[in-house]
Amino acid sequence: MRAWAIVVPRGRAEEIRRTLQSQGLLLKHLRIGHEDATILLPVRKRVEIGFPAKEAEFDEGFVAVRSYKDVIEVPPAMRRSLPSSFDVVGDIAVIKIPEELREHRRAIGEAIRRWNPRIGVVLEDRGVKGERRIREIDVIAGERRTTTTHTEHGLRYRVDLSQAYFSPRLASERKRIADLIEEGETVADPFAGVGPYSILISKFRRPRDVHASDANPTAVELLRENVATNRADRVTVHEGDARAVLRQVAPVDRIILDLPHSAMEFLADAFQALGTHGTVHLYGILEAAEEGEKREKIESAARAAGVRVKNLSLRHVRAYSPAKYHTVFDVTVARA
Ligand SMILES: C[S@@+](CC[C@H](N)C(=O)[O-])C[C@H]1O[C@@H](n2cnc3c(N)ncnc32)[C@H](O)[C@@H]1O
């Protein structure tokens, strides 16, 4: 690859390399060149630092690229705003871009693809919206598609990030829940999305039945496809509102209420749908200071539903924002 080179004497090469690196000018994915008694340091642009500059041919790919930031072209002042992480779903990178970098979003997308050529598409994530929790996204680099196949715990999920919710960040939480399932349980997953809880439970545990459903028809279509692809025989798929499906499949032993912004509204229906005893996993987005109040609300919903709380525990699934956690309450109850 052709790039600008700073030509320095061998004895000063390491010192100048460090200076260029600290200024974000060094192209670290290119291999440093040699010419007679001089060293050629590859840089993003022509710079005046007291040594000659010239264009030169460099070998690529020999140096481990640690981050897409190593191969991006943005003004140095912008570099510190570059996101340090993004999600990868199948072969799609999904990245949130700060407002001040909006005009550089295509450069960010291209850099991610140069950094990892296995990424086929880069999507800008503009937030999950509405009851169906659909991500508002724009393709900023690569193929113009939002579908891919994601592998989680060895299972394959067809996803369409513009049509149905999916996040790879909950993989460990899904495994934690699956590990709790006892042989012969009936489980309801009324906010199933494309099926990552239900299918994992069906494949790795021995439930009697897992009722997976969602109100979003596209999610249900993908869910059916994923159940078939993974031969998740114990999953029964339904389409519709969580309340109606819970009434239809009751009684069950365990219910996964994975709709963090409004799961609480479905708690009474979930308690009604349990048999003589059972567990509800209730997700929420909360500040630590709100946790006590939420506990009280859960206890009061249990009293109103005529069930006795036998165990109520809380876990932080992950940090959601500087002040909030994605939180789960595991609530085990028995009919009073
Ligand atoms: C946060 S997503 C969870 C998806 C899934 N559990 C996962 O781990 O990927 C919530 C899902 O609930 C669905 N949903 C929202 N409101 C609903 C309702 N009233 N009844 C049934 N599904 C609903 C949305 O369509 C969305 O797929």
- Which residues, including other chains, have CB under 8 Å from residue 73's CB and lie 6 or more apart? 44, 107, 111
Which residues belong to CATH 3.40.50.150 in the chain?
165-335
Please, where are the H alpha helices in 250-290? 267-273
**Domain ranges in the chain with CATH number 3.30.70.2580:** 2-57
Architecture of domain 2-57: 2-Layer Sandwich (3.30)
Backbone angles phi, psi at 235, to 5 degrees: -95, 130
Q: Supply the residue whose CA is at minimum distance from atom 19 of ligand 1.
A: 241
- DSSP structure class, residue 43: E
Q: pLDDT value at position 31?
A: 79
pLDDT at 183: 97
Side-chain half-sphere exposure of 287, counting CA atoms within 13 A: 4
Q: CATH 3.30.300.110: which residues of the chain?
A: 68-145
Q: Residue 129: exposed, middle, or buried by beta-carbon count in 10 A (0-12, 13-18, 19+)?
A: exposed
Ligand 1: distance of its center to the CA of 257 in Å? Answer: 9
Distances 144 to 58, 97, 219 between C-alpha atoms, Å: 31, 19, 20
Q: What Rg value do the Cα atoms of the chain yield, rounded?
A: 26
Nearest residue CA, atom 7 of ligand 1? 193
pLDDT of 63 reads 52
Our mutation pick for probing the ligand 1 site, out of 165, 194, 198, 211, counting the most ligand atoms within 8 A of Cβ, is: 165
Backbone angles phi, psi at 324, to 5 degrees: -120, 155
Q: Return the residue whose CA atom lies nearest to atom 24 of ligand 1.
A: 132
Give residues (CB < 6 A) around ligand 1: 131-133, 164-166, 170, 190-193, 196-197, 214-216, 219, 241-242, 258-259
HSE-up of 35 (CA within 13 Å, CB side)?
12
| Fold (CATH) for 165-335 | Rossmann fold (3.40.50)
End-to-end, the C-alpha distance of the chain in Å comes to 73
- List Cα–Cα distances, 298 to 246, 253, 310, 318, in angstroms: 18, 18, 12, 21
Q: Which atom of ligand 1 is nearest to the CA of 197?
A: 8
Q: How far, in Å, from the CA of 214 to the mean position of ligand 1?
A: 6
List 255's β-bridge partners, or say none.
188, 280
Distance between CA atoms of residues 29 and 100, nearest Å = 26
E-state strands within 74-185: 87-89, 92-95, 121-129, 134-142, 147-152, 155-160
CATH number of the 68-145 domain: 3.30.300.110
> Helical H runs in the chain?
13-22, 105-115, 171-180, 196-204, 217-229, 242-249, 267-273, 291-305
Walking along the chain (336 residues) 10 residues at a time, the average pLDDT comes out as 91 91 84 88 91 88 67 85 90 94 94 89 92 90 96 94 94 96 98 98 98 98 98 98 98 97 97 97 96 97 97 95 94 93
Residue with CA at minimum distance from ligand 1 atom 16: 131
Closest to 177 (Cα-Cα) out of 199, 208, 158, 144: 199
* Residue 212 CB burial class (10 angstroms; 0-12, 13-18, ≥19): buried
Q: What is the pLDDT of residue 56?
A: 92
**Mutational test site, ligand 1, from 152, 214, 326, max ligand atoms within 8 Å of CB:** 214
